[in-house]
Structure 1
Amino acid sequence: MTVPDGGAGAAGTGPRPATRRRAAKAARRAELLTAAARQMAERGFAGVRLEDIGGAVGVSGPAMYRHFSSKTELLDEMLLDISRRLYAGGHEVVARGGTPDETLDALIAFHIDVLVTKPDLITVQDRDLSSLTPAANHEVRRLQRRYVEDWVEVTMAAVDAGTGRLDRAEARVRVHAMFGLLNSSPRLPDFDADRLRGLLTAMAAAALHARV
């Protein structure tokens, strides 16, 4: 009798071995990316070897090459992933709608959530962008520009609602300055996480709404 192909083994007790192997490889790859972000945040891209990253999660030097062909390939994947997540998350916030002030508050909250949960990635992105391959660098910068422009549109709408006099060039300067402020948070002295979140939120809003 033929067993229907439902993704289970012959006895119908679980996923096929090949599926389990793919899941295990994906999980190990994610562990390696996390370890790489932590080490590169601490020592910089140039100060970390592929073998160091593998050693942090129990992967031997030669076995690392089954996951990544080089340290640069690993960096490319790491920064492309965080750039895509930032752009997609920000775009989703904008797409939800609401008043400009509500949307701007939601964008600030979203970015700070990424900062407090992925500080190593933010540090590496801020410092080691120049170490990407040209193709990855181009794509990361394209995603960053699109992310910034979503913020610019919302900032113009929010500030214009109160003053009617914020042009695009100034809105872009405000957004970039605000990112500089927020993205420096991984390098700040130790501080209570809840209080830091509130402080960063207030400072980001003040930077975007500044009266000049």
Structure 2
Amino acid sequence: MTTSPVRRPRDRKAQLATAAADLFRRHGYHAVGVNDIAAAVGITGPGMYRHFQNKQAVLGHVLLTGVDALAARLNGVLDGFGDPESGLRPLLRAAAEISIDQRDLTALWRWQGRHLHQADQKEIIRRTGVLLGGWQAGLRRLRPELGDRDALLLCFAALSVFGSVGDHHAAPARERFVDLLADLAETAVRSPVVPSTETTAVRPRPAVAASRREELLTAATRLFRDHGFHAVSMEDIGAAAGIAGPSIYRHFAGKSDILLAASRRMADRLTLGLNDSLSEATSPRDALHRLARSYVDTVLRSDDLIAVYANEIGNLPERDAKEMRRLQRAYVAEWVRLLREVSPSLSDAEARVVVQAALTVVNDLPRTRGVNDRPRLATELTALAVGLLDSQA
């Protein structure tokens, strides 16, 4: 008797991509191996190489496929943006629906996209650039008083609103969630801006030279942000600071110690801003506005710290990671509490969506080319954040 050969499923590549996306999102890119991805769909590690060259290729496939799906759903709606007033709301609702439906993909791009092969990064930027161009052109028709740079600012602000769903787990009822995101994005694109100039914002150099420990902390934080904690060695940090790797141990016990120092510093700065805002405020709304200004100032002064604090604390020892997450949750909870006092009709989940949208706009734009050199960026970020928080009052 002869037996029929076992047939591989036609959708094995898609199965691998789906499994990898879930593993990357839950555990981080560096914590997931080829064998983990293969095992998730019931095959051996070598079997995965029939479909993908390596783990990096899987990530590229997942994100490029997601961008194509996004473009396919938005292109038709963008065509309707020819009449900006009637086309704006359908466009924003469609973008909100996609953001919610592909929430895990949004989180994957925001936090793991830096691990892509350079060619895949460039291709994603190219494809998303085409979409951004359509948004920008439509916004110029909606608001002809805007220059290209001002339209770009507001387009990126709206995209950050949609991207914010990848930074939290709040989940209002779906239709309310869609409407709320669309409302917030519309607030962003209709925000008043002062016409910009081409002047580049220059940050003043510190009057006093940093200590060696500060140089190491600054260098390490930048490397962690750009490449991820696992991809950075002590030798890399030493080279970036201009010293030999072993000399770092005079200042830090190890790489995790550097990460913990960076995380604690960010937590301390945020807590100080929160306490000052609450102690000086005359009302919950005033406290919320003061807190927004404080957060903008902290982010702009903290350069890479905020990105590392948001994305890398899972690489700390478990006890330290739990403490940092507790501080993060407590900080956001104060924003939510204040917003619910100002807007009592909002549920806790809805208030969290609004707060996270405001925080994400402030986090994203200072690291966005074409936007981060604006001379009035601090004022504009504060206005955008306050506008989003006030939009549901």
Common fold: TM-score over 0.5: yes
Residue 153 (structure 1) aligns with: 337
Residue 363 (structure 2) aligns with: 183
Q: How does 1:96-135 map to 2 (within 5 A)?
A: 96-135=280-319
The alpha-carbon deviation at position 166 of structure 1 amounts to: 2.7
Residue 217 (structure 2) aligns with: 33
Corresponding residue SS for 1:82: helix
The alpha-carbon deviation at position 111 of structure 1 amounts to: 0.5
Corresponding residue SS for 2:304: helix
- Identical-pair percentage: 37
The alpha-carbon deviation at position 106 of structure 1 amounts to: 1.0
Corresponding residue SS for 1:156: helix
Residue 16 (structure 1) aligns with: none
The alpha-carbon deviation at position 125 of structure 1 amounts to: 2.0
Conserved? CA contact 1:76–1:133, under 8 Å: no
Conserved? CA contact 1:87–1:147, under 8 Å: yes
> Which of 168, 192, 197 is the matching residue for 2:348?
168
1:199 correspondence with 2:380 = yes
1:44 correspondence with 2:228 = yes
Corresponding residue SS for 1:65: helix
Task: Give me the whole-angstrom Cα distance separating, in 1, the residues matched to 2:255 and 2:265.
Answer: 15
Corresponding residue SS for 2:281: coil
Equivalent residue letter for 2:291: L
Conserved? CA contact 1:94–1:150, under 8 Å: no
Conserved? CA contact 1:103–1:154, under 8 Å: yes
Deviations 1:161-181 (A, max 9, x none): xxxx23333222321232222
Equivalent residue letter for 1:131: N
Residues 211 and 154 from structure 1, CA distance in 2 versus in 1: closer, same or farther, beyond 3 angstroms? closer
Q: Which has the higher contact order (CA 8 A, sep 6+)?
A: 1
Equivalent residue letter for 1:196: L
Equivalent residue letter for 1:194: P
Conserved? CA contact 2:281–2:290, under 8 Å: no
Aligned length: 183
Q: Structure 1 length normalisation: TM-score?
A: 0.76
Task: Give me the whole-angstrom Cα distance separating, in 2, the residues matched to 1:69 and 1:209.
Answer: 45
Q: Structure 2 length normalisation: TM-score?
A: 0.43
Conserved? CA contact 1:54–1:61, under 8 Å: yes
Structure 2 residue ranges without an equivalent (≥5): 1-209
Task: Give me the whole-angstrom Cα distance separating, in 1, the residues matched to 2:241 and 2:369.
Answer: 28
Corresponding residue SS for 2:343: helix
Residues 107 and 194 from structure 1, CA distance in 2 versus in 1: closer, same or farther, beyond 3 angstroms? farther
Residues 41 and 112 from structure 1, CA distance in 2 versus in 1: closer, same or farther, beyond 3 angstroms? same
Conserved? CA contact 2:269–2:298, under 8 Å: no
Deviations 1:59-110 (A, max 9, x none): 3222111222221221112112211221232122112231222221111111
The alpha-carbon deviation at position 137 of structure 1 amounts to: 0.9
Deviations 1:18-59 (A, max 9, x none): xxxxxxxx9321221111112222222222211221223333
Residue 320 (structure 2) aligns with: 136
Task: Give me the whole-angstrom Cα distance separating, in 2, the residues matched to 1:86 and 1:159.
Answer: 23
Task: Give me the whole-angstrom Cα distance separating, in 2, the residues matched to 1:30 and 1:68.
Answer: 11
Task: Give me the whole-angstrom Cα distance separating, in 2, the residues matched to 1:211 and 1:88.
Answer: 27
Task: Give me the whole-angstrom Cα distance separating, in 2, the residues matched to 1:85 and 1:144.
Answer: 12
Residues 135 and 186 from structure 1, CA distance in 2 versus in 1: closer, same or farther, beyond 3 angstroms? farther
Task: Give me the whole-angstrom Cα distance separating, in 1, the residues matched to 2:242 and 2:368.
Answer: 31
Q: What's the RMSD between the two structures over aligned residues?
A: 2.2
Equivalent residue letter for 2:289: D
Deviates more, 1:181-190 or 1:60-69: 181-190
Task: Give me the whole-angstrom Cα distance separating, in 2, the residues matched to 1:198 and 1:38.
Answer: 25
Conserved? CA contact 2:355–2:389, under 8 Å: yes
Task: Give me the whole-angstrom Cα distance separating, in 2, the residues matched to 1:186 and 1:97.
Answer: 27
The alpha-carbon deviation at position 206 of structure 1 amounts to: 2.4
